[in-house]
Chains A and B, each alone.
Chain A
Amino acid sequence: MIELAGLSVRYKNRDSEVLAVDNLNLKLDKGDICAVIGPSGCGKSTLLYVLSGIISEYDGKALIGGKSVNPRLHRIGLIPQNYGLLEWADVYSNSVLGLDIKHARQKSDEAYIEYILDRLGLARLKSEYPGRLSGGQRQRVSIARSFILKPDVLLMDEPFSALDAITREEIQDLFLDIWKENRVSTIFVTHSIEEAIYIGRKVAIMSPSPGRILKIFDNPLFGIENLRLADEYYRFSMEIRRMVKEAWSKC
């Protein structure tokens, strides 16, 4: 479904070139969810910007459903770090933005839109503006926008990093519940090893800059009920932490 093959991205400054991503390879099946862990500045966001069509100059291949990434052709749900909401549009307009841009909103979509808004606790906030919402509510709007679009791929760039611990856990659970209903192919970038294990069915570890995938593995704990209460969750987090440190020390 998602395929990155030999992907290299260079940022051009005035007199120099910076290699942000170097020969990166990643394959994700339809309906899979992959958490990507990496240090700051390793090119995690760059990876998402290539897949969302924002960066179009790169070497290698970036494919969605076997075709080169094209935001006009593909339905791409991107949740950036600050949520990317339009401050001048109310919750409803922000939520249906993707459908509106694609001129794809029909009367028959209304029930699904209402369902997603209701599921995310936004039904009563439809006419509110983002400036009046809490961080958690803003995050829900960006999730609503992505799911209402019924995307081919969902790309999340440290979406929960600005939230407090309790809200973060609530939204993680809510996100996973809705994700399980829709099974959208998702790449989820995070700094947090615990979050990667909680969200990702696959976990990919990136190298420090220039970014490459050092290791990718299936997460045996994915989907376990009440995972946060399980001892294995913390044991596995420690194991991954050791693995990440070891991998990065070799770079």
Chain B
Amino acid sequence: MLKINSALSYLRVFVILLLLWQALSLALKLPFIPSPADIFANLYGIFVSDIAAHALFSLWRAFAGILLSIFIGVPLGLCMGFYKAWDRLLSPVAYFVYPIPKIALLPLVMLIFGLGEASKIIMITFIIVFQVIVASRDAVKSIPKETFYSLRSLGAGNLDIFKKAVIPASLPGLLTSLRVSLGTALSVLFFTETFGTMYGMGYFIMDSWMRVNYVDMFSGILVLSVVGFLLFLLIDILERVLCPWKSK
């Protein structure tokens, strides 16, 4: 019942936004604000033949960047939270690099990794990984010391402590950090896809804009938004599956 209510509330907001958009389009009558009806009609025609491939490319790059961030960021963050020496050594590095606007490094990343897939995935990783590191580290630090005492007194070694406490405790923070950084990651993905590729939602949207095809452009924006929404939804589902103590 709760799930149906939640789906209905999402649907309600979506319909309201479409109605507002339709009203704005009718009121302004500007060529670069087409009506949602035109966009849906356009999507029906070109989604399978054209946009789907671009969307899949963007999804793959986003997934690859997120997974790479997790593989790098989670072990580092967990070790920084658990071992003081790691924290002393790596926290200053993380704090120093974290505030740098990563997008400014795009030219350098492209010079090093080329114009292909690698530079796009590395840019996404670069943006997400610091949030993942900090969230994982803080999650471990927030575990009450009594939890470790109980485990140690039961004869747990470091491996047991990681399995029983450190990893599960870090999961909610990790998922929150992914949720927070996802929006920025998609913006950067869009930007990187405007260089050195002919596939991806960024390329499709900018190409449509340059062709002065605003209906295609808005179709691309809508699909990119749906990709972002689906990734958000995926994180919610993961949280329900991996962190049942949070939702129960």
Determine whether the beta carbon of B245 is less than 8 Å from that of A84. Answer: no
26 sample A-B contacts, Cβ–Cβ < 8 Å, listed by A number: A49-B149, A52-B153, A53-B152, A71-B153, A71-B154, A71-B156, A72-B155, A76-B153, A76-B155, A80-B146, A82-B146, A84-B147, A84-B149, A85-B147, A86-B164, A87-B245, A88-B171, A89-B245, A98-B154, A101-B155, A101-B164, A102-B154, A129-B245, A132-B248, A149-B154, A155-B153
Is A81 in the interface zone, CB < 8 Å from B?
yes
Determine whether the beta carbon of B169 is less than 8 Å from that of A71. Answer: no
A63-119 residues with Cβ-Cβ distance < 8 A to B are 71-73, 76-78, 80-90, 97-98, 101-102
Is B150 in the interface zone, CB < 8 Å from A?
yes
Residues of A within 8 A of B152 (CB): 52-54, 71
Indicate with 1 or 0, residue by residue over A235-250, a CB within 8 angstroms of chain B CB atoms.
0000000000000000
Is B144 in the interface zone, CB < 8 Å from A?
yes
Check A54/B149 contact, CB under 8 A, given A88-B169, A97-B164: yes
Residues of A within 8 A of B243 (CB): 88
Residues of B within 8 A of A155 (CB): 153
- Give Cα A77–Cα B154 distance, bound, in whole angstroms: 7
Size class of the B contact interface (CB-based, 8 Å): 20 to 34
Residues of B within 8 A of A72 (CB): 155
Indicate with 1 or 0, residue by residue over A125-166, a CB within 8 angstroms of chain B CB atoms.
000111110000000000001000100000100000000000
Q: Which positions in B face A, CB cutoff 8 Å?
A: 144, 146-147, 149-156, 160, 164-165, 168-169, 171, 243-245, 248
Contact of B150 among A80, A102, A130 (CB under 8 A): A80
- Give Cα A54–Cα B160 distance, bound, in whole angstroms: 15
Determine whether the beta carbon of B168 is less than 8 Å from that of A129. Answer: no
Determine whether the beta carbon of A101 is less than 8 Å from that of B160. Answer: yes
8 closest Cβ contacts across the A-B interface?
A84-B150, A52-B153, A78-B153, A129-B245, A80-B146, A88-B168, A71-B155, A72-B155
Check A129/B244 contact, CB under 8 A, given A101-B155, A101-B164, A102-B154: yes
Check A78/B245 contact, CB under 8 A, given A86-B165, A88-B168: no
Determine whether the beta carbon of A81 is less than 8 Å from that of B146. Answer: yes
- Give Cα A82–Cα B147 distance, bound, in whole angstroms: 9
Contact of A78 among B144, B150, B165, B169 (CB under 8 A): B150
B240 to chain A, nearest CB (A): 14
Known: A88-B169, A128-B248, A155-B153. 9 other contacts (CB 8 A): A49-B149, A82-B144, A86-B147, A86-B164, A86-B168, A88-B243, A89-B245, A129-B248, A130-B245
Residues of B within 8 A of A131 (CB): 245
Residues of A within 8 A of B149 (CB): 49, 52, 54, 78, 80, 84
- Give Cα A49–Cα B146 distance, bound, in whole angstroms: 11
- Give Cα A98–Cα B154 distance, bound, in whole angstroms: 6
Residues of A within 8 A of B150 (CB): 78, 80, 84-85, 97, 145
- Give Cα A132–Cα B144 distance, bound, in whole angstroms: 18
A29-72 residues with Cβ-Cβ distance < 8 A to B are 49, 52-54, 71-72
Determine whether the beta carbon of B154 is less than 8 Å from that of A88. Answer: no
Residues of B within 8 A of A76 (CB): 153-155
